[in-house]
Amino acid sequence: MFVILLRISLSSVMTSDGANNALQAWDILHGNVLLHGWIIGDATYYTFELPQYAMVELFVGLRGIDPHLVAALTYLIVAGCGLALARTGSSGAAAAARSAVVVTVLATPLVGERGVSRLLESPDHIGTSAILLACFLLIDRAPGRRFTASLLGVILCAGQLGDATVRYIAVPAVIVVCGYRVLAARKIRSTDAAIALAAAASVPLALVARAVMLHFGAYAMVPPPAGFSPLGHWPQNALLDWQNVISLFGAADLHPGTAAGTATAAFGLACLLAATAGFGKVLWTWRRASLADQLVCVTIILYYTVYVFSSVPPGRLYEIAGILPCGAVLAARACVPGRFASAARGKTALVAAALVALLPLAVAASRPPAKQPAVSIAAWLEAHGLRYGIAGYWDASAVTLQSGDRVQVRAVRFSVRFVAGAWEAKPSWYNASQHDATFVIADPPHAYGADNIAASTFARYFGRPVARYWVGYRTILIYRINLLKHVVPGSSAPDDRRRTVV
């Protein structure tokens, strides 16, 4: 499964999001455990994905393949947690068939390029669902153990340090479900009460842990958005959320008018319907449903409603990525009984489920590897002795990682002046007394956007370059001045991703 996921991951372009995580993990490996000097985005992934990056780099070093290896590993862990949760209460062929259904649901969105880039590539909230599912597994498998509540609190606390989604989704889900069970049983002193209390206590514990880290010089970060959207936006947000759910399961037509696109959309729709059936079954049999089923069901509801009411800009599919593995669990439990009446029926169901699971995996893995622009750029810069420069966000760290940090390119953005990056960056990178930036990487004309900068913009601001080269679709401008002397320190910007750093 890991090899297949890695092959699928290679069909997507490695970007600076994953490259920055790789550079942060490289710093951790070299002793900067608290990432002193870093300004990280509103989700740090400090306690889940970054340790995976550090482990991978310990064996293979700082290389362009690192984000692909970690992406495959993260998705594999998510799938493993989903499999373990879906198999609860089953055995033999039934357990294996449920596993195949989970794999099917998780693999179907990867048939499309958008699904790969949003779910499998750079840390973008999908890994957080592994923390959620691991918590539910702990509660489901060891509800009466003495260590369950305390261990759950520690996991939730660690999860919140990496992604606020744990605070706004996982913690409320545990409190709501366990609180309901306490009220239904009319017994305050119970395991459910202890678990709910541990979940609630994890929030102030995470805040204290973050304060202690800051005291010892840990990374700064851009705070996640935590406001409410205007009431009039809620209906539109709900519609966009539903459209995202459809895309999340691969039910959107990937290639309109083609047989392949229609077939893939139909396959994704079947997965969505199976998950919906499992969701409806849990609601219909709520009082008899298992604790794990109730937790997964409430988690899906929270994922959907939180982003309807929140100030996070709607339409960002990756924000609700956790719905997919949760839906996969419910689909498996709805489609496959805990046990089959006969061995023959169980074998038939298992073979059918396995073949269905292999289909989207095979199709997704057959997509050709993507051409990585950073490869040729890094090789060209290194061959010409160029070691330090600036670029727009999406090229900067990607080229740095691809070169193994031998060529260092730092992200800048432009409004009226060129400003140092204040998102996934270190202010020390822009110190003109320590570094001499002599080149820029300009984006191609068709890639203009908020984080892309045209060659004409660089030339207009820094003056006429002494040389101009074209490498692939990028333009390299060479200067005899230290460009960092003309880059002002980073500050907050109106962009939703770059708020005041705390």
Q: How high is the pLDDT of residue 365?
A: 92
Residue whose C-alpha is closest to residue 120's, from 70, 163, 56, 169: 70
> Cα separation of 18 and 6, whole Å?
15
Q: How high is the pLDDT of residue 499?
A: 43
What letter would DSSP give residue 169?
Answer: I
Does residue 53 carry a pLDDT above 50? yes
What is the β-pairing status of strands 467-471 and 388-391? unpaired
> Cα separation of 451 and 457, whole Å?
13
Does residue 447 carry a pLDDT above 70? no
> Across the strands, what pairs with 488?
419
Residue-wise DSSP of 330-342: HHHHHHS-SS-SS
CA distances in angstroms from 441 to 108, 458, 470, listed in the order given: 36, 9, 10
Average pLDDT in the 358-375 region? 90
**Token representation of residue 77:** 């862990």
- Answer with the residue of higher pLDDT: 500 or 424: 424
> Cα separation of 434 and 340, whole Å?
69
> Cα separation of 85 and 62, whole Å?
35
b/e map of 70-98 (b: 16 or more CB within 10 Å)?
A: bbbbbbbbbbbbbbbbbbbbbeebbbbbb
How long, in residues, is the chain?
Answer: 502
Q: How high is the pLDDT of residue 260?
A: 63
Sorted by sequence, the CB contacts under 8 Å of residue 342 that are 6+ apart come out as none
Q: How high is the pLDDT of residue 320?
A: 87
Model pLDDT for residues 274-317, shown as the tens digit of each residue: 999 999 999 999 988 889 999 999 999 999 888 888 777 655 77
Do residues 161 and 210 make contact, with C-beta atoms less than 8 angstroms apart? yes
> Considering the chain, what percentage of its residues have pLDDT values greater than 70?
93
**Token representation of residue 267:** 């396959």
Do residues 189 and 210 make contact, with C-beta atoms less than 8 angstroms apart? no
What letter would DSSP give residue 199?
Answer: H
Model pLDDT for residues 180-229, shown as the tens digit of each residue: 999 988 888 888 899 999 999 999 999 999 999 999 999 998 887 777 87
Q: How high is the pLDDT of residue 332?
A: 93
> Across the strands, what pairs with 486?
none
CA distances in angstroms from 473 to 67, 336, 389, 438, 454, listed in the order given: 23, 50, 18, 20, 12
Of 167-181, 261-275, 406-420, 479-493, the poorest mean pLDDT is in: 479-493
CA distance from start to end of the chain: 40
**Token representation of residue 488:** 């002002």
Residue position matching structure tokens 């399961």 = 249
Does residue 421 carry a pLDDT above 60? yes
In this prediction the pTM is 0.92
Do residues 386 and 439 make contact, with C-beta atoms less than 8 angstroms apart? yes
**Token representation of residue 405:** 């940090």
How sure is the predictor about 60, in pLDDT bands with cuts at 50, 70 and 90? very high
- Tell me the longest C-alpha to C-alpha distance in the chain: 79
Q: How high is the pLDDT of residue 145?
A: 84
CA distances in angstroms from 323 to 3, 174, 359, 370, 417, listed in the order given: 25, 16, 22, 27, 41
How sure is the predictor about 498, in pLDDT bands with cuts at 50, 70 and 90? very low
For 348, half-sphere exposure in the C-beta direction (CA atoms, 13 angstrom radius) is 6
Model pLDDT for residues 86-143, shown as the tens digit of each residue: 998 888 888 999 999 999 999 999 988 888 888 888 777 899 999 999 999 999 888 8
CA distances in angstroms from 493 to 2, 391, 437, listed in the order given: 39, 18, 24
Residue position matching structure tokens 């998705």 = 75
Do residues 171 and 165 make contact, with C-beta atoms less than 8 angstroms apart? no
